[in-house]
């Protein structure tokens, strides 16, 4: 279970990772920075084209200006080189230079710009000197014409011709600068030759200015076609076209990139849709799970409530059971009490039984039977009764016999009266026990003045038969005790039980006389203490704590009830019953202690 | 209006009146620009390297050995002495304002200052070293190692040494020349003769080549447009071929970069071959072989007066 859970977690992570990677891949593919590079590149190329155009404008301007600053012919190239380097590093950063077509147009541009630079440098050099000479030409002509006009001696016509020739040459040269043609070049050459011839006709001071002029015109003749050719060549250098080629390549690449971009855009769209579907599916699943959870929760709650109800029911049942148990316990208590009562009644009934037995036996062996024999003798002699009494041997004995009989019957009567009085006492005791049992229900106790020693005597008497039968010697150690207020029946119950137990404890004793010691004394002027001591089997240590418990007994026919009820009775009298034994076979002593309540009048 | 605002307004008015009188002139010559914004750590590192003799193979030469800032950014020898005690082939150009030249070296073989450094260090007649050695030497110096680590993410490399030097050189601008002040609108700074000199400079066509912000240094030109200078001078050397050595194009024979005229009064001798010992000689050669004209003595003197206004300052002192 745990293993498969871990595996499913790993699978889930893997799937999530895969989805994220796909998304990232598509994102990167569809949002590559090529577009921004493209815009930048287009921008750079555009600026380079602009600079190129500016460069060409400056070149054209340089062609017509006299005092020209050539810096503007340098700066566009510098800036273009800078821009190209930026463009190149940007594009090579994208691996463009690997493509053959790219490299071709790249190199083509570089070749073009290099060629153009070379031509422009030449143009600058040639144009500078050409412009200088052209600008100087009128001054140079003046330098000849002015002295020529001031020349006084010489052939006026010839001088006029020389001046005209020089002027024509100047005009031809200036025109040549505007419209360069071979015809004009030929004209200029003719003019130069004429000037050379004229020079020889003029005096020495004219030679230098003429040389200077012809030198400059020769320079114009030489340089003007070069400058024109250079300009044509510069114009022909396809720098702009090469830049357009590169732009075209960029556009093509961009279109491809756009296509790829759109494709990946589509992929991304599809993928996103899929993801959304998955999300919706998951959401539905989640909602279902949620519903399920809710349902289970509700079920759980219901179950919980049911459980609570059942618990309540059970609690109620338990309560009922408990009260039933209580009832049962009460009934059991009643039963216990009944047992108690019956036990005590049984004890007393024993005495009743013995008394009844004694009376019966006495009646069976009664001397009254002799009276009926004597009456038979008398009835045999109804007539001669007198004689019979005096003469007959038997009759003579009869009066004496009757006298003896009277004595015997009187004795018998006396014995039976005593026995019957004992019987009556026992019956009274039974009555009292029953009354006591009834008093339990009312929990009242009857306090009455009594002599504790008399009570002890009563108890002994009730057990007297058994004590006699078992040959138990009773030792009485009574202190001087005043009359006390006490519950006679409870005290009697306890004493009878203790005496009975002492007797039983010594029943197996055969090697020494059976002796029971009864003690009465007052302790601390507050407690009445009555003790019953035997030297019987004793109490083992382990039983010490249990002997007062209900149902504990060491006897086969015992109920385990006597001591328990005694202890209860003692407690009901605010006293207590304790046991002491030195161990098995060493006898035992039970001591009852109750609060001492002397009778007021006696004190 | 609070006193503060009144104060501000006064300053504003003053500024307007100042600009009104001092509007920059629109001339073919342009005033010197300010030094560009650069990483000061790199500039300082470049300054140290500029004065570092260990850039040469035997520790005898630093950049500053030939490009002495106190003497116009070059030495006053016709040909500087290389690491091996032998003179180099061409006159040393000034390092001042070199950043404004469109190419470096007389024949313009270097497009950038970095390339110029690259060549000089390896040149068998100048420093005679190689970059492996230079980088190793600098990398073992703890001071340089720290300085490079602070200024560059990748520490001591060939490119960084060159860049540091170039960064420093870009700050070497001889600002505040009197002519620059004139161009910026302070027209009273030049004397009348100097102003005439400037006029002659333009009239005679010097300005055809010597123009722009660096007063030259923005084009190539054949040395000997109006006559064969080298034949007249004689004693031809390989370096006289000029740009031909770079392009092998017949067109470029005897073609050189037009040098800047800034600080020209303090950077004698002149030309790639140091053939002109004085400004006068140089101006004469220019008139004869480049302009093909004969100036009056007065005009020449005026032009030379003008050329002397092109001398700038370095660290607040005139060069």
pLDDT digits over B181-233, tens only?
999 999 999 999 999 999 999 999 999 999 999 999 999 999 999 989 999 99
Q: What's the rounded mean pLDDT across residues A96-120? A: 86
d(CA B15, CA B21): 10
Among the partner-chain residues A81, A122, A129, the one whose CB lies closest to the CB of B208 is A129
Cβ pair A125:B221 closer than 8 A: yes
**Top-confidence range, A140-154, A302-316, A444-458, B167-181:** B167-181
Q: Using 50, 70 and 90 to split pLDDT, how confident is the model at A447?
A: confident
Cβ pair B219:A124 closer than 8 A: yes
A585's torsion region: left (phi>0), alpha (psi -120 to 50) or beta?
left
Question: Which of chain A's residues have a Cβ under 8 Å away from the Cβ of B207?
Answer: 67
Residue A2 confidence (pLDDT) above 80? no
Check if A208 contacts B (Cβ < 8 Å): yes
Check if A233 contacts B (Cβ < 8 Å): no
Token pair for B125:
């007649």
A543-588 pLDDT per residue, tens: 887 888 777 777 766 667 778 888 888 888 888 888 888 888 888 8
Residue A603 confidence (pLDDT) above 50? no
Which of A386-390, A481-485, A532-536, A570-574 shows the lowest per-residue confidence on average (mean pLDDT)? A386-390
B69-112 pLDDT per residue, tens: 988 999 889 999 999 999 999 999 999 999 999 999 999 999 99
Q: Sign of dihedral through CA atoms B172, B175, B178, B183?
A: positive
B27 part of the active site: no
Q: Sign of dihedral through CA atoms A401, A407, A408, A410?
A: positive
Q: Sign of dihedral through CA atoms A54, A59, A61, A65?
A: positive
**Residues facing residue B314 across a β-bridge:** B317
Count how many Cα atoms sit within 13 Å of the Cα of residue A402 in the half-sphere of its side chain.
Answer: 14
Q: Using 50, 70 and 90 to split pLDDT, how confident is the model at B11?
A: low
What is the residue-wise DSSP string for B214-270?
TTS-SSEEES-SSS-HHHHH----GGGGBTHHHH--GGGTTEEEPPP-TTGGGS-SB
* A502, A544 contact by CB (below 8 A): no
Per CATH, is B40-170 categorized as 1.10.1200.10? no
**In chain A, which residue's Cα lies nearest the Cα of B257?**
A125
| Helix residue ranges per DSSP H, B22-88 | 40-50, 63-66
Which of A86-95, A165-174, A522-531, B142-151 shows the lowest per-residue confidence on average (mean pLDDT)? A86-95
pLDDT at A601: 59
Q: Where in chain B is the domain with CATH 1.10.760.10?
A: 40-170, 178-318
**In chain B, which residue's Cα lies nearest the Cα of A118?**
B247
* A478, A520 contact by CB (below 8 A): yes
pLDDT at B6: 56
Q: What's the rounded mean pLDDT across residues B66-71? A: 91
Q: What are phi and psi of B128, to 5 degrees?
A: 65, 20
Query: ∠ CA(A60), CA(A173), CA(A224), 5° rounding?
Result: 40
* B105, B91 contact by CB (below 8 A): no
**What's the mean pLDDT when you consider all of chain A?**
84
pLDDT at A367: 79
Residue A438 confidence (pLDDT) above 70? no
pLDDT at B1: 42
Token pair for A442:
């009312």
Q: Which residue has the higher pLDDT, A11 or A262?
A: A11
- Is residue A487 within a helix (H) or strand (E), and if so which, with residue range? strand A484-487
Which of A58, A121, A126, A143 is the best residue to mutate to test the B interface, defined by the most B CB atoms within 10 Å of its own CB? Answer: A121
Q: What's the rounded mean pLDDT across residues B279-307? A: 94
pLDDT at A526: 85
pLDDT at B13: 54
DSSP conformation class of A98: G
- Range A443-448 contact pairs with CB under 8 angstroms and sequence separation of 24 or more: A445/A487, A445/A490, A445/A572, A445/A573, A446/A487, A446/A488, A446/A489, A447/A485, A447/A486, A447/A487, A447/A597, A448/A485, A448/A486, A448/A487, A448/A488
Judged by DSSP in three states, B210 sits in: coil
* A173, A179 contact by CB (below 8 A): no
Neighbouring residues of A366: CB distance < 8 A, sequence distance ≥ 6:
A409, A412
Question: Which of chain B's residues have a Cβ under 8 Å away from the Cβ of A73?
Answer: 218-219
- Location of structure tokens 């100087």: A136
Q: What's the rounded mean pLDDT across residues B173-182? A: 93
- Is residue A182 within a helix (H) or strand (E), and if so which, with residue range? helix A182-201
pLDDT at B8: 57
d(CA B25, CA B202): 15
Strands (E), A220-362: none
Provide the shortest C-alpha distance from residue A141 to chain B (in Å): 13
Q: Using 50, 70 and 90 to split pLDDT, how confident is the model at A34?
A: low
Residue A341 confidence (pLDDT) above 80? no
Percent of chain A with pLDDT over 70: 92
CA distances from A541 to A544, A559, A580, B57, B249 (A): 5, 21, 10, 121, 141
pLDDT at A442: 43
* A513, A536 contact by CB (below 8 A): no
DSSP conformation class of B315: T
| The length of chain A, given as a count of residues | 603
Residue B166 confidence (pLDDT) above 90? yes
pLDDT at A559: 66
d(CA B51, CA B59): 11
pLDDT at A437: 64
Residue B10 confidence (pLDDT) above 60? no
Provide the shortest C-alpha distance from residue A254 to chain B (in Å): 34
Token pair for A53:
């155009």
- Location of structure tokens 């194009």: B249
Which of A232-241, A314-323, B133-142 shows the lowest per-residue confidence on average (mean pLDDT)? A314-323
Token pair for A200:
């020889």
Residue A602 confidence (pLDDT) above 60? no
* A484, A444 contact by CB (below 8 A): no
pLDDT at A263: 84
Q: Which residue has the higher pLDDT, A371 or B211?
A: B211
| Helix residue ranges per DSSP H, chain B | 3-21, 40-50, 63-66, 113-122, 131-140, 142-151, 158-170, 178-183, 192-203, 229-233, 244-247, 279-285, 297-308
pTM of the predicted model, to two decimals? 0.62
pLDDT at B301: 96
Question: Which of chain A's residues have a Cβ under 8 Å away from the Cβ of B213?
Answer: 71
pLDDT at A498: 87
Q: Exposure of B275 by Cβ count < 10 A (0-12 exposed, 13-18 middle, 19+ buried)?
A: middle
pLDDT at B110: 94
Question: Which of chain B's residues have a Cβ under 8 Å away from the Cβ of A210?
Answer: none
Strands (E), A296-344: none
Closest C-alpha to B49, from B176, B116, B188, B148:
B148
Cβ pair B293:A128 closer than 8 A: no
Q: Which CATH number fits domain B178-318: 1.10.760.10, 1.10.510.10, 1.10.150.50, 3.50.50.60?
A: 1.10.760.10
CA distances from A510 to A75, A138, A270, A471, A537 (A): 151, 184, 115, 11, 11
Q: Using 50, 70 and 90 to split pLDDT, how confident is the model at B17?
A: very low
d(CA B67, CA A209): 42
Provide the shortest C-alpha distance from residue B289 to chain A (in Å): 11
Question: Which of chain B's residues have a Cβ under 8 Å away from the Cβ of A133?
Answer: 292
A38-79 pLDDT per residue, tens: 888 889 999 999 999 999 999 988 888 766 789 998 999 999
DSSP conformation class of A197: H
Burial A576-603 (b: 16+ CB within 10 A, else e): ebebebeeeeebbbbbbbbebebeeeee
* A165, A191 contact by CB (below 8 A): yes
């Amino acid at each position: 279970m745990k293993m498969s859970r871990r595996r499913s977690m790993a699978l889930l992570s893997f799937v999530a990772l895969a989805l994220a990677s796909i998304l990232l891949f598509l994102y990167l593919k569809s949002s590559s920075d090529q577009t921004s590079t493209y815009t930048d590149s287009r921008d750079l190329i555009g600026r380079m084209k602009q600079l190129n155009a500016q460069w060409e404008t400056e070149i054209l301007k340089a062609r017509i200006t006299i005092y020209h600053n050539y810096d503007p012919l340098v700066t566009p190239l510098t800036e273009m080189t800078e821009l190209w380097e930026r463009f190149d590093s940007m594009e090579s950063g994208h691996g463009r230079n690997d493509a053959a077509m790219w490299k071709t147009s790249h190199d083509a541009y570089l070749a073009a710009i290099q060629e153009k630079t070379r031509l422009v440098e030449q143009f600058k050099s040639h144009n500078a000197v050409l412009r200088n000479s052209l600008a100087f030409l009128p001054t140079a002509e003046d330098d000849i014409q002015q002295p020529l006009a001031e020349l006084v001696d010489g052939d006026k016509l010839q001088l006029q011709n020389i001046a005209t020739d020089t002027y024509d040459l100047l005009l031809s040269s200036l025109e040549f600068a505007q419209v360069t043609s071979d015809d004009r070049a030929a004209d200029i050459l003719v003019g130069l030759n004429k000037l050379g011839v004229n020079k020889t006709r003029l005096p020495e001071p004219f030679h230098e200015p003429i040389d200077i002029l012809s030198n400059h015109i020769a320079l114009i003749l030489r340089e003007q076609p070069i400058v024109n050719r250079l300009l044509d060549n510069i114009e022909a250098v396809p720098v702009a076209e090469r830049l357009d080629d590169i732009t075209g390549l960029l556009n093509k690449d961009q279109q491809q990139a756009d296509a790829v971009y759109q494709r990946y855009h589509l992929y991304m769209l599809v993928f996103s849709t899929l993801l959304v579907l998955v999300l919706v599916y998951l959401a539905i699943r989640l909602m279902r799970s949620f519903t399920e959870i809710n349902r289970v929760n509700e079920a759980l709650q219901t179950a919980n409530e049911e459980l609570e109800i059942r618990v309540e029911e059970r609690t109620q049942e338990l309560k009922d059971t408990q009260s039933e148990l209580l009832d049962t316990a009460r009934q059991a208590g009643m039963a216990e009490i009944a047992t108690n009562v019956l036990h005590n009644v049984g004890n007393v009934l024993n005495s009743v039984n013995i008394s009844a037995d004694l009376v019966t036996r006495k009646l069976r062996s009664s001397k009254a039977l002799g009276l009926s024999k004597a009456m038979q003798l008398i009835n045999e002699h109804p007539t001669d009764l007198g004689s019979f009494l005096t003469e007959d041997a038997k009759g003579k004995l009869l009066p004496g016999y009757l006298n003896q009989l009277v004595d015997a019957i009187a004795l018998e009567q006396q014995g039976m009266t005593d026995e019957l009085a004992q019987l009556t006492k026992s019956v009274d005791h039974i009555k009292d026990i029953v009354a006591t049992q009834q008093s339990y229900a009312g929990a009242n106790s009857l306090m009455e003045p009594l002599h504790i020693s008399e009570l002890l005597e009563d108890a002994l008497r009730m057990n007297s038969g058994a004590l006699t039968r078992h040959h138990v010697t009773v030792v009485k150690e009574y202190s001087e005790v005043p009359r006390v207020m006490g519950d006679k029946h409870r005290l009697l119950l306890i004493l009878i039980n203790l005496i009975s137990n002492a007797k039983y404890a010594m029943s197996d004793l055969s090697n020494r006389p059976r002796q029971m010691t009864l003690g009465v004394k007052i302790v601390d002027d507050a407690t009445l203490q009555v003790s019953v001591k035997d030297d019987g089997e004793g109490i083992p240590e382990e039983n010490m704590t249990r002997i007062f418990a209900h149902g504990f007994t060491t006897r086969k026919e015992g109920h385990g009830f006597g001591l328990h009820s005694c202890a209860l009775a003692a407690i009901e009298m605010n006293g207590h019953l304790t046991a002491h034994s030195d161990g098995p076979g060493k006898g035992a002593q039970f001591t009852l202690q109750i609060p001492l309540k002397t009778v007021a009048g006696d004190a | 209006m609070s006193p503060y605002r009144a104060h501000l307004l006064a300053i504003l008015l003053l500024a307007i009146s100042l600009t009104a009188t001092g509007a920059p002139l629109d001339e073919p010559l342009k005033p010197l620009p300010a030094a560009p914004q650069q990483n000061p750590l790199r500039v300082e590192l470049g300054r140290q390297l500029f004065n570092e003799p260990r850039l040469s193979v035997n520790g005898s030469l630093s950049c500053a050995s030939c490009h002495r800032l106190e003497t116009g950014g070059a030495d006053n020898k016709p040909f500087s002495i290389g690491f091996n005690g032998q003179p180099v082939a061409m006159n040393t150009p000034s390092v001042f304002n070199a950043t404004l030249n469109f190419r470096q070296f007389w024949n313009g073989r270097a497009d950038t200052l970095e390339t110029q450094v690259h060549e000089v260090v390896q040149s068998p007649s100048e420093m005679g070293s190689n970059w492996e050695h230079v980088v190793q030497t600098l990398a073992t110096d703890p001071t340089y190692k720290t300085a490079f680590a602070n200024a560059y993410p990748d520490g001591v490399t060939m490119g960084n040494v060159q860049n540091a030097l170039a960064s420093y050189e870009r700050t070497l601008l001889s600002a505040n020349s009197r002519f620059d002040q004139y161009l910026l609108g302070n027209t009273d700074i030049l004397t009348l003769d100097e102003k005439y000199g400037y006029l002659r400079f333009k009239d005679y066509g010097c300005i055809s080549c010597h123009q722009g912000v660096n007063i030259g240094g923005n084009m190539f030109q054949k040395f000997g447009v109006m006559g064969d200078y080298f034949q007249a001078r004689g004693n031809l050397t390989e370096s006289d071929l000029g740009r031909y050595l770079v392009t092998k194009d017949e067109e470029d024979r005897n073609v050189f970069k037009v040098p800047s005229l800034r600080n020209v009064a303090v950077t004698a001798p002149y030309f790639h071959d140091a053939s002109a010992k004085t400004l006068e000689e140089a101006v004469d050669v220019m008139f004869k072989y480049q302009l093909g004209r004969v100036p009056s003595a007065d005009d020449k003197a005026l032009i030379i007066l003008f050329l002397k206004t092109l001398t700038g300052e370095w660290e607040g002192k005139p060069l």
